[in-house]
Copies of this chain bind each other. A is one copy, B any other.
Amino acid sequence: MRRILVINSNTSAAATQRIADVLQRHTTVGTQVTVVNPSKGPQGIDTLLDIAISGLESARLVAAHHDEYDAFVIACSADPGLDIARQVTDKPVVGICEAAVLMACTLGATFAIVAQRKVDIRRIREQVARYGLTGRLASVPSIDLATAELLQDVDRLYQRLLLAAHQAVEVDLAEVVILAGSVMAGFEEQLRDDVEVPVLSGTVCALKLVEGLIDLGVRTSKVYKYAPMKKLDRLQGYPGFQDVYSR
């Protein structure tokens, strides 16, 4: 049995439930998925500060439960805390945006990632650059909707997604469209039918990728970037992380 902990990085229980619903439809025999969210941090992840805090909280959840699961998914399109989580455990950890771009590479020459707002475009470009895949990124079209607006009017949301995907394919020559964020999840099939290219949900991609990593029996490399360190330092004021340094 593969035991996977999926961490919704924000503190919204409603969002956690939506993720759990999406994943339930894609869970294979032999996989047990648990979806949780931190008790501290922002309700919606909109800014660099939100990403930093929810990243730390996501990694804290990994540290707290690292014995109970075989792999971890960070379920926020900014992949907050992904690098820290890989230091905290040697079990596989995958981010949903990361999973989507890796999967997309097998389905088309280039991909586009739909951004929620114009202010996110540069951040997403930098994120793809960190993954080393700028050469495969066609564009980052934006639907220009705040999270609150997104959920209020589903028809408008879909029209914006359609417009963004259409521009990405027709103008920017994207061959695959990625809906990285969990708030956009659920529109993949309709959008795929309308724009006639593969449309990927990061959340489901991540689930499938960690299933594969668990089956492979591999662990995160601890030799350099994700090296743990035994040290006597007190992490003053950040309970839940101390034992990371004494393992």
A residues at B contact (CB < 8 Å): 11, 26, 28-30, 39-44, 46-50, 52-53, 55-56, 59, 81, 83-84, 86-88, 92-94, 98-99, 102-103, 105-110, 118-119, 121-123, 126, 129-136, 169, 173, 175-176, 196-198, 200, 204-205, 208-209, 211-213, 215-216, 218-229, 231, 233-238, 241, 244
Q: Tell me if B59 and A241 are in contact (CB < 8 A).
A: no
| A52 and B52 in contact, given A225-B119, A226-B108, A236-B39 (Cβ under 8 angstroms) | yes
Given A47-B87, A119-B225, A225-B123; A53-B235 close (CB under 8 Å): yes
Distance of A47 from chain B, by nearest CB (Å): 5
Copies of this chain in the oligomer: 6
Q: A52 to B205, Cβ gap below 8 A?
A: no
Listed by A's residue number, 13 A-B pairs whose Cβ atoms lie within 8 Å are A11-B236, A39-B236, A40-B236, A46-B231, A49-B84, A50-B233, A52-B52, A53-B238, A92-B107, A102-B102, A108-B220, A175-B225, A211-B215
